[in-house]
């Protein structure tokens, strides 16, 4: 090909759509995509990278907007291709010694659903012979051509992959061989012919013989793959902007399959599983890169490479050491050795397990690569949470039979059941069960509640099963497609990795790992987390403990640093002394939510029933008097467990009928009793009460502070129990710090009224017991009205605590109970949510309520202490938001306390750095 004219058809100056690798660097991911920017970086570092160039994301955007090639794009491609040909001394598709290129997409963020790679562009019916001659290996040339046809047909022309695979399978069967590599050159030549037939039939045109047409087609196909439905859905879910576009990398092919002095490999600069120092990788002699991943033969370790080719090994180690120093992080790489010459094909900051993340971050501080702040930025609360789940004993034997999506983390062992009724029945008799379904529907809800784990053969991470299981904290593996669920016959059939047919019958014990998506037959032993054992103080000196000592040290170190830098306090939601104790051991600085209604359950339910059935004031007071000492005892224990730390006690919140039997069940029972002539008058009275108290929408009924105003005796009893308990603690030498929290306040007058009752009781208790109990009075902010009138409410509140669960329900107008099982999976699919707003706070809607209330509350009461006690208090994304908004503390379940501490530290640094860079930009 002649060098193209350097002036374009148009006289207007053109945008630069194409950059040689030499002209980029790793900071230019916006323009060059991740892959292109990192290739450019390696080129600039003088590393051996096959030459090539990157077509920018701007070109992609322009193409997608106009629906046509941007002016000058392919002229620029021609220029850069010419330069590439000069460097390589070969021409694209040359009949004698063709230059081949790969075309690979590379967006700023890696994105499933986009076209990935087309290798061997430049081959055609003529140049394949040239490649055979030049390489001296006709089979290799034909194999490359076969691959090109397959990849081009599926990814560029959009033909179904199954047609190609079926042809290949049929051929192998005819030839009686198991592996592709056992096919000879004639087989492959026949395959090429069949593939060309598939292309002609499927696309209506023959496979393009012109190499430039192949290249142009591949580039446009990469552009267009930006808008596949799967990619669009992914972007919606991950909140990746729609208009970024992808870059396209065109790179000279190098061959790891040119004999025994060639090969391909992948490597990590450290162990990405454990985080242990030292390089780690796989190498396959005489192979192309894709073979390494596909596992066609057994790979060897990098140590073995040193034996095979010491100079290349040393060169590789040097490159990896430089990359890690340069990126100051774990890098993963792809490389090829062609005839003893090392080529780097890709690098990026490597993915790693949670364990590795902590160990690497900690080790890199010691190595002086990063400081503690940066190390904290390298680990996440989600990773720490995963380290805290119980998991299957890694040492134990296990029988892996299938893998699905890791939909909801945890390790669950139980008997397989195939319908919800059985799940409920077996769970009631004490069996742990795993509910196995093709897919779940709202009808399966009671079965999902009863099960310890859920396994489905269909549906992804936003399927009904996945969404509901995450919502209720059940372990779930979904979309395990190898499993054929046959509910009618109460069994599931599957073929394991070895091709054996297996059947899981109802009652068989299985184990599922919601963290990895693995499914095992039989019981796999579960071990508790070493991190939890450490936090619980069960390990002694972690260095002596076991193989996980390094991990525990790293976690402690980063948690301590998070504590040092965080502004947010971390409290726990705890209703029992046990929970309170654990929360304290996990680093909680107080209780942010102690729900008192939990103290009305169990044996005390009858006392609550008496309260409700009371027919006069005397009976009502008697019921309350019976509850008082029980509540007081509860509070004494909790205040003792949290001595010296604040304990926020929420007055009773749920509607009273929650303590009564279900209306429908009771109505049926009473009707049947009557029918049978067993008239039970207490049942009738109970049914009357349930009917009277029944509400269409209990979430929107007589609950929270409304109960306190309707039944002042109830509030007074609770307040008295708290203050008497605190008084006893003081007399016993303790330091109780009770904070009374009023739920569901919508108007300042409600809080004033309850405030008045509290003051009266406090005065009475002080007079009776002779001890003044210091206490704060505050309110939940969980109704939109409370948020927008927070300036008034703050006048009579010592503190606010955002009840983000209810606030989410009221702001969106849906109740969690009702919607997670009905339309949430649909909403996630449509991208209306990226994630359930009950999991991570909805910044635009609910978050706006939080911002409004925080601003208004502090306007009238600058001393107001503001916290969050919804489940969002333990969610990493939400914690970052709360840091930005400037609340004072978050409160979460005891198990989430370490996660919240870590994320609060990270959030403080993120806000600081955000503020710093914002400051810099205005300076």
Q: How far apart are CA 450 and CA 45, in angstroms?
A: 58
- H-type alpha helices, 45-160: 57-66, 73-88, 127-135, 138-151
- How far from 309 is each of 295, 333, 550, 738, CA to CA, in Å? 22, 18, 34, 71
> Alpha-carbon distance 490 to 678, whole Å?
39
Of how many residues is the chain composed? 923
The residues that bridge with 402 in the sheet, in sequence order, are: 519
Q: Check: CB of residue 459 under 8 Å from CB of residue 439.
A: yes
**Alpha carbon distance, N-terminus to C-terminus of the chain:** 52
| Binding residues vs a second copy (CB under 8 A) | 442-443, 663-664, 667-668, 671-672, 675-676, 692, 695-702, 706, 709-710, 744, 746-747, 749-750, 753, 782-785, 788-789, 792, 806, 809-815, 817-819, 822-823, 826-827, 830-832, 842, 844-846, 848-849, 852
| The two three-digit tokens of residue 224, written as one number | 């267009």
How many CA atoms within 13 Å lie on the side-chain side of 334?
16
Residue number, 437 or 566, with CB nearest to a second copy: 437
163 or 842: CB nearest a second copy: 842
Q: How far is the CB of 112 from a second copy (least distance, A)?
A: 21
Q: In the complex, what is the shortest distance from the CB of residue 316 to a second copy, in angstroms, rounded to a whole number?
A: 48
Nearer of residues 123 and 666 to a second copy, judged by Cβ: 666
HSE on the CB side for 833, CA within 13 Å? 21
CB of 658 to a second copy, least distance (A): 11
Nearer to a second copy, 241 or 813 (CB): 813
If 0-12 CB within 10 Å is exposed, 13-18 middle and 19+ buried, where does residue 914 land? Answer: exposed
Q: How far apart are CA 910 and CA 916, in angstroms?
A: 10
| Distances in whole angstroms, Cα of residue 603 to Cα of each of 598, 606, 607, 636, 656 | 11, 7, 8, 19, 16
CB of 892 to a second copy, least distance (A): 23
Q: How far is the CB of 405 from a second copy (least distance, A)?
A: 23
Considering the complex, state which of residue 262 and residue 811 has its C-beta at the smaller distance from a second copy.
811
User: Which structure tokens are listed for 504?
Assistant: 């899981």
Bridge partners of residue 104, in order along the sequence: 117, 249
In the block, residue with structure tokens 């925080």: 854
Beta-bridge partners for 495: 501
Tell how far CA 343 is from the center of its chain. Answer: 35
The least CB distance from residue 807 to a second copy, in Å, is 9
Nearer to a second copy, 214 or 878 (CB): 878
Least Cβ distance, residue 669 to a second copy (angstroms): 9
Give the residue from 825, 46, 135 showing the smallest Cα distance to 461.
Answer: 825
Beta carbon of residue 704, minimum distance to a second copy (angstroms, whole number): 8
How far apart CA 238 and CA 559 sit, in angstroms, is 27
Cβ closest to a second copy, residue 486 vs residue 695:
695
Nearer to a second copy, 394 or 677 (CB): 677
Residues marked active site are found at 464, 869
Q: What is the H or E stretch that residue 785 is in?
A: helix 784-788
Q: Of 415, 411, 449, which is closest to residue 432 (Cα–Cα)? A: 415
User: Residue 126: phi, psi to the nearest 5?
Assistant: -90, -50
Q: CB of 601: closest distance to a second copy in angstroms?
A: 19
Q: How far is CA 75 from CA 7, 120, 209, 228, 780, in A?
A: 9, 22, 20, 27, 64
């Amino acid at each position: 090909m002649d060098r193209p004219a350097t002036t374009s058809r148009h006289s207007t100056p053109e945008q630069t759509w194409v950059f040689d690798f030499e002209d980029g660097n790793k900071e230019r991911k916006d323009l060059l995509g991740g892959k292109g920017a990192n290739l450019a970086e390696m080129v600039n570092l003088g590393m051996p990278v096959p030459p090539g160039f990157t077509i920018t994301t701007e070109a992609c955007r322009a193409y997608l907007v106009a629906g046509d090639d941007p002016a000058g794009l392919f002229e620029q491609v021609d220029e850069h291709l010419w330069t590439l040909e000069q460097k390589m001394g070969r021409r694209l598709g040359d009949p004698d010694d063709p230059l081949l290129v790969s075309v690979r997409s590379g967006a700023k963020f890696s994105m499933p659903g986009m076209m990935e790679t087309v290798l061997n562009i430049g081959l055609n019916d003529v140049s394949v012979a040239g490649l055979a001659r030049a390489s001296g290996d006709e089979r290799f040339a034909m194999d490359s051509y076969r691959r090109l046809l397959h990849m081009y047909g599926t990814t560029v022309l959009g033909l179904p992959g199954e047609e190609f695979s079926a042809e290949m399978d049929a051929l192998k069967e005819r030839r009686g061989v198991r592996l592709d590599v056992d096919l000879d050159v004639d087989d492959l030549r026949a395959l090429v012919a069949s593939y060309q037939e598939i292309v002609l039939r499927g696309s209506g045109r023959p496979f393009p013989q012109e190499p430039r047409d192949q290249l142009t087609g591949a580039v446009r196909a990469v552009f267009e793959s930006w808008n596949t439905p799967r990619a669009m859905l992914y972007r919606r879910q991950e909140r990746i902007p729609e208009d970024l576009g992808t870059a396209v990398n065109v790179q000279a092919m190098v061959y790891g399959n040119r004999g025994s002095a060639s090969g391909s490999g992948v490597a990590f600069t450290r162990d990405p599983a454990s985080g242990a120092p030292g390089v780690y990788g796989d190498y396959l002699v005489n192979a192309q890169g894709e073979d390494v991943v596909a596992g066609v033969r057994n790979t060897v370790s990098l140590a073995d490479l040193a034996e095979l080719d010491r100079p290349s090994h040393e060169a590789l180690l040097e490159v990896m050491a430089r990359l890690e120093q340069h990126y100051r992080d774990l890098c993963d790489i792809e490389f090829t050795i062609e005839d003893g010459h090392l080529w780097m094909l890709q690098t990026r900051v490597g993915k790693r397990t949670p364990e590795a993340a902590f160990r690497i971050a900690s080790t890199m501080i010691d190595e002086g690569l990063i400081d503690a702040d940066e190390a904290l930025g390298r680990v996440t609360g989600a990773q720490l949470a995963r380290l805290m789940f119980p998991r299957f004993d890694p040492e134990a034997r296990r029988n892996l039979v299938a893998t699905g999506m890791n939909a909801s983390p945890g390790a669950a062992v139980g008997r397989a059941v195939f319908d919800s009724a059985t799940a409920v029945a077996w769970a009631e008799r004490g069996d742990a069960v795993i509910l196995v379904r093709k897919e779940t529907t709202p009808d399966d809800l009671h079965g999902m509640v009863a099960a310890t784990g859920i396994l489905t053969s269909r549906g992804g991470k936003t399927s009904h099963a996945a969404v509901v299981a995450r919502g209720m904290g059940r372990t779930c593996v979904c979309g395990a497609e190898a499993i054929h669920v046959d509910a009618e016959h109460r069994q599931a059939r599957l073929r394991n990795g070895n091709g054996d047919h297996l059947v899981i019958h109802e009652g068989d014990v299985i184990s599922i790992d919601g963290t990895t998506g693995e499914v095992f037959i039989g019981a796999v032993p579960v071990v508790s987390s070493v991190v939890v054992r450490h936090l619980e103080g069960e390990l002694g000196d972690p260095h002596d403990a076991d193989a996980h000592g390094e991990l525990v040290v790293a976690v402690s170190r980063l948690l301590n640093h998070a504590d040092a830098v965080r502004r947010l306090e971390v409290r726990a939601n705890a209703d029992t002394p046990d929970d309170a104790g654990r929360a304290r051991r996990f680093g909680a600085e107080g209780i942010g939510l102690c729900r008192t209604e939990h103290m009305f359950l169990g044996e005390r339910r009858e006392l609550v029933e008496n309260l409700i059935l009371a027919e006069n004031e005397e009976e009502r007071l008697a019921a309350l008097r019976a509850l008082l000492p029980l509540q007081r005892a509860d509070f004494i224990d909790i205040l003792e467990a949290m001595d010296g730390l604040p304990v926020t006690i929420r007055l009773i919140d749920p509607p009273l009928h929650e303590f009564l039997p279900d209306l429908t069940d009771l109505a049926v029972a009473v009707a049947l009793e009557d029918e049978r002539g067993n008239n039970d008058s207490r049942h009738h009275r109970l049914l009357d009460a349930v009917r009277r108290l029944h509400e269409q929408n209990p979430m929107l009924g007589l609950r929270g502070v409304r109960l306190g105003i309707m039944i002042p005796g109830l509030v007074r009893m609770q307040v008295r129990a708290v203050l008497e308990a605190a008084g006893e603690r003081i007399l016993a030498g303790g330091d109780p710090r009770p904070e009374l929290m009023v739920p569901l306040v919508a108007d300042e007058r409600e809080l004033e009224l309850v405030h008045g009752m509290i003051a009266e009781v406090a005065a009475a208790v002080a007079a009776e017991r002779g001890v003044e109990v210091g206490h704060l009075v505050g309110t939940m902010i969980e109704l939109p009205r409370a948020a927008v009138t927070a300036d008034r409410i703050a006048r009579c509140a010592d503190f606010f605590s955002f009840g983000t669960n209810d606030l989410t329900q009221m702001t969106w107008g849906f109740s969690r109970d009702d919607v997670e099982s009905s339309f949430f999976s649909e909403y996630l699919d449509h991208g209306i949510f990226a994630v359930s707003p009950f999991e991570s706070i909805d910044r635009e809607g609910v978050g706006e309520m939080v911002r409004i209330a925080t601003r208004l509350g502090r306007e009238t009461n600058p001393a107001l202490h503001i916290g969050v006690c919804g489940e969002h208090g333990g969610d990493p994304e939400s914690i970052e938001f709360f840091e930005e908004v400037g609340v004072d503390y978050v409160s979460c379940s005891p198990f989430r306390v370490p996660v919240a501490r870590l994320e609060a530290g990270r959030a403080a640094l993120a806000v600081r750095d955000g503020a710093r860079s914002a400051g810099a930009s205005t300076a």
